[in-house]
Structure 1
Amino acid sequence: MADIVIIGSGAGGGIAAEQCAKAGFKVLLLEEGAWYQREHFVMEERWAYPQLYQEGAARKTRDQAISILQGRTVGGSTTVNWTTSIRTPEPTLAYWQSEFGLNFSAEQSLTPYFELAEQRLNIHAWPVPPNANNAKLQQGCEALGWEYTVINRNVNGCANLGYCGMGCPINAKQSMLVSTIPEAMRLGATLISRVSVRRILWRQDKVIGIEAVPVDQYFQPRTDIKLTVSAKHYIVAAGAIGSPALLLRSKVPNPSGRLGKHTYLHPTVISGAVFAEQINGHSGAPQSIYSDQFVWPKDNNQPGYKLEVPPVHPVLMATKLTGMAEQHAALMQQFNQLQVTIALLRDGFHPQSQGGTVHLDNAGQPVLDYPLTDYMWQGMRRALLSMAELQFAAGALQVLPINHQAKAYHNWSQAKAAIAQLPLAPLQQTVVSAHVMGGCNMSDSANSGVVDAFGRHFQLQNLSIFDGSILPTSLGANPQLTLYALSWRNSQRLVAELGSGLKL
């Protein structure tokens, strides 16, 4: 029997494991993915995607319209993300207070926890000049007078390789895999990988145990072995699809009706551009510049979107570029001259942007429904226009919005006219996501949330949720630093309560 069982080892679970172990609690950390380390990270997509990502990096929404990149390994998405570390935007916190009664001001401020996480994980502004892929984003912003910012990254001794999404082969990325989890284990925590928690067992207002099974070589739950674990307190940190799925399988109380609902993705559209010079977007820090020029429009009837770039690797690009046969091959032949910009739409701040719903299939596995409304499509069209304008301003020879009806356009006026007419519909417009949030949202009231402001489940007193599922909306920023700060804060509160003998 453990004092605290943590389900999931990503940003939330990793921080909680270290904090609870430091406080002297006996911690058991369970992870569905495998425990790979630096020697396994060979910088090859063909190995990394099947081994380190949910559903082999092929997870999609139910209608197949949105691709979702989400980690499944010890360290979760922190092991495979692109290291971008941004504090929660103040307008997001203000919205949470007005709509959900969540006060993160004054003595409840997250600032001290941002500072703790930044110090612990060596988060600082990237001091190296951006690679050409990011530099074009900067140059376009400068030419147009748009805002841009140098990104803070959680790295120490980074060699600027550019393969962060495949696991860091030199342990420079300060993910949970190399920071909090090893420290928690040094302090006595136990890690069990390749195990899937299937059910939370509960009676009245308390969790009495969990049921788990091993996974096979393809990370599918086995049925021949069953594990039962009991503890004093249970922390669910399985991610914003996995955590709602676990609670749905367990049929936990859900009086608010919000469990599994209001799941957000920062739906993202892509624009490719060909330059005369070599871009080599596979080399160098994947993200080092972003622009918030359009994140917070004055008119709330216009969705906001953040401009960033992704790393440009062959398989990742080949599966997202439009066209078939000769057209696709021609694009790939210009691979090293390809600059790619992405726009992440901020969802959850408008009645027509209420995210998606996690359901369970016949095997009890999660499936996400995420309908795209006219409001979101309008935002995507504006984002495609902004990216094309930026890329031409940076000197692109041609720009290709990643839409199955788009062509390569050779100047801004041509692109502007064409993008205005592009059909935006599922499977016509390529939409991706690397951020999943919501589904177990926090609130000041059990009528409008699944957990309270400290991640404590409203109905089950010894259950907490510490991951991106507790976010009431998307962030309008990459989520990892928000999750580090929230988990640190919530873990400190939990440790204090358990240490004083409350709510055991």
Structure 2
Amino acid sequence: MKGSFRPSNPAQLDADAAIIGSGAGGASVADVLTAAGLSVIMLEEGKHIPSSAASPIASEAISAAWRCGGVTSAIGRPPIVYAEGCCVGGGTEINSAITQRADSALIEQWRKLNKIENFTPDELTPYYERAEAAVNASLTPGPLGRATDILRQAGEALGWKVSDLKRGQRDCKGANRCSYVCPSGAKQSMAVTLLPKAVDCGMRLLAQTRVHKIRIEKGRAIEVLAQSRAEGGPALSVRVKANMVFVCAGAIHTAALLRCSGVHKRVGDTLRFHPTIKATALFSEPVDAHKSRPPLAAITEFMPDQRIGGSVFTPGIFGLSLAEDWKNRGDLMRDWRFCGSYYGMIRPRGVGSVRLIPGSNGPVVTFKLVPEDWTALSQVLTRLGQALFAAGARKVFPSITGHEGWTSPDQVHEFWNKPLPKQATNLMTIHLFSSCPPGEHRDVCAVDSYGRVRGIENLFVADGSLIPEAPGVNPQMTSMALAFRVAEAALCHSPRERARSASRDRNQEDC
């Protein structure tokens, strides 16, 4: 990407604004600021992976674009595996580009709960529309393949609502490599859309540059301290002075960076996931899920609290999913063309945290499921099993280590009235948010209604960290909408007004 560079010597840079992170949040902020004519420097820990360099091999692709090869997990009982992008474009490079808005009733609930100013469905609509236009959110024409038809067939058989899913795409080729980096550039990730636009407007993008601290003095973010390191090369110091600093590193690393910079109050205390349980379905006829796009329909009968959908499926990713119980599931690789991978997702009541421990290589993430979450997981797994048998599955294997699998729809009610085995249940998520919720409820909210960190005049959060609770849908559109909103507010509110507000915050914290 033109404008993406790494300094050859230690660098001291200046700009109107510094943006930390290049995913959905950071790219949206850059779009607003560069359009207003500001000089912008963006710092991204990961490398830039052009579409032409995207590997078709699962292990190589995941190693290149996913943080820690996709094997990070939150400590809990059980641990929950989560995935984060670590490349230019962030999580938008490894997700399926599904575009959904948060439910209007939830938005109203969040507004009242956190006392968020100017935060109604109508007030957020223009920001959602801007996000959808940026990625060309649209339905995919033509046949979508058996993997999608299975969900539609299940909904029809059971009388459950099924919704077609829009994606951020332009002329999708159906390569089914969404969890890698799209090889054709058809997936409208940030590296294809807003980032090149911002670079064309003069933004400087430093890839492979990890920010380790924001220096804060007298209620202002004074300097961003980072190191730039190419593979095999020396680490070079990068220091950026900016009038405004936007932290857009994702729900986990935004909270971790703020805490590392001395900002602790209510930061990283309210992390939320979408705990997700999967099931593998074996059919009598070939599904050939690898030949079509990811399933572009979802069972939405039980939303926003529960949702049933389908996963990206390639032989490599399928093999990785079976590895959680290879002893009992490895034989399914022989029948991989007859298999599909599906999931049930819940909105949890449990809460996680992000903390720093001296000597650790990264933030420590914990998440505690509460009894209501286990009930919801049991329900959604039962409904997932019902759906797959209704669509003609011959056998269904829930993501529970040692489970022999179900061979008839009568068996799927096994866990309806009893909890899942905590030690054997394998949970994961790709949706992370809520570590820095906004609002004027000071006992809960880490930032104000417009993303400004309390007590600091020119420091803002603008990514999925701001989503007040789990939205029950893919969070990218909401992350972008809130980031647009934060950036516009930062431009509209005068520095003097922000300084007065920061001073009030500090005085109230001292009381």
In the other structure, the counterpart of 1:288 is: 296
Whole-angstrom CA distance in 2 between matches of 1:312 and 1:321: 12
Letter in 1 for 2:298: Y
CA contact (8 A) 1:405 1:423 kept: no
Match of 1:248 among 251, 259, 266: 259
Report 1:315-334 matches (<5 A).
315-321=316-322, 324=325, 327-334=328-335
1:265 aligns with 2:265: no
In the other structure, the counterpart of 1:39 is: 52
Residues 82-111 of structure 1, C-alpha deviations (whole Å, 9 max, x = no match): 010001111220220221112556696111
Whole-angstrom CA distance in 2 between matches of 1:395 and 1:288: 19
In the other structure, the counterpart of 1:313 is: 314
CA contact (8 A) 1:377 1:424 kept: no
In the other structure, the counterpart of 2:193 is: 179
CA contact (8 A) 1:441 1:469 kept: yes
Letter in 2 for 1:236: V
Whole-angstrom CA distance in 2 between matches of 1:178 and 1:83: 12
Residues 45-72 of structure 1, C-alpha deviations (whole Å, 9 max, x = no match): 1211111011111111135721111111
In the other structure, the counterpart of 2:504 is: none
SS in 1 for 2:368: coil
CA contact (8 A) 2:382 2:415 kept: no
Whole-angstrom CA distance in 2 between matches of 1:121 and 1:398: 38
Letter in 2 for 1:456: R
Match of 1:473 among 460, 464, 469: 469
In the other structure, the counterpart of 1:133 is: 147
CA contact (8 A) 1:273 1:398 kept: yes
In the other structure, the counterpart of 1:158 is: 172
Report 1:67-146 matches (<5 A).
67-102=81-116, 109-146=123-160
Residues 321-373 of structure 1, C-alpha deviations (whole Å, 9 max, x = no match): 377556333111111111221111112xxxxx232011123246112111222
Residues 252-296 of structure 1, C-alpha deviations (whole Å, 9 max, x = no match): 2x4xx4211111110100111111111122232214101221224
In the other structure, the counterpart of 2:221 is: 207
Residues 224-246 of structure 1, C-alpha deviations (whole Å, 9 max, x = no match): 54322110000000000110000
Whole-angstrom CA distance in 2 between matches of 1:324 and 1:343: 19
Whole-angstrom CA distance in 1 between matches of 2:280 and 2:318: 10
In the other structure, the counterpart of 1:350 is: none
CA contact (8 A) 1:84 1:287 kept: no
Whole-angstrom CA distance in 1 between matches of 2:235 and 2:324: 45
Whole-angstrom CA distance in 1 between matches of 2:120 and 2:381: 39
Match of 1:439 among 435, 439, 448: 435
In the other structure, the counterpart of 2:379 is: 382
CA contact (8 A) 2:176 2:313 kept: no
RMSD of aligned Cα (Å):
2.1
Letter in 2 for 1:205: G
In the other structure, the counterpart of 1:11 is: 24
Relative to structure 1, the CA distance from residue 331 to residue 107 in structure 2 (aligned partners, 3 Å threshold; closer, same or farther) is closer
CA contact (8 A) 2:213 2:261 kept: yes
CA contact (8 A) 1:271 1:401 kept: yes
SS in 1 for 2:152: helix
In the other structure, the counterpart of 1:456 is: 452
In the other structure, the counterpart of 2:6 is: none
Match of 1:484 among 480, 483, 497: 480
Letter in 2 for 1:263: L
Whole-angstrom CA distance in 2 between matches of 1:322 and 1:57: 14
Letter in 1 for 2:71: A
In the other structure, the counterpart of 2:412 is: 415
361-370 vs 204-213, greater mean Cα deviation: 361-370
Whole-angstrom CA distance in 1 between matches of 2:119 and 2:47: 39
SS in 1 for 2:29: helix
Whole-angstrom CA distance in 2 between matches of 1:105 and 1:26: 29
SS in 1 for 2:470: coil
Whole-angstrom CA distance in 2 between matches of 1:502 and 1:130: 52
What stretches of structure 2 of length at least 5 have no aligned partner? 1-13, 500-511
Q: CA deviation at 1:26?
A: 0.3
1:170 aligns with 2:184: yes
Whole-angstrom CA distance in 2 between matches of 1:107 and 1:311: 31
Q: CA deviation at 1:319?
A: 3.0
Residues 378-409 of structure 1, C-alpha deviations (whole Å, 9 max, x = no match): 11111110000011111111111110132122
CA contact (8 A) 1:54 1:70 kept: yes
Residues 112-163 of structure 1, C-alpha deviations (whole Å, 9 max, x = no match): 1212222222111222333211211111011000011110110011111111
70-79 vs 89-98, greater mean Cα deviation: 89-98
266-275 vs 89-98, greater mean Cα deviation: 89-98
1:24 aligns with 2:37: yes
Relative to structure 1, the CA distance from residue 359 to residue 216 in structure 2 (aligned partners, 3 Å threshold; closer, same or farther) is farther
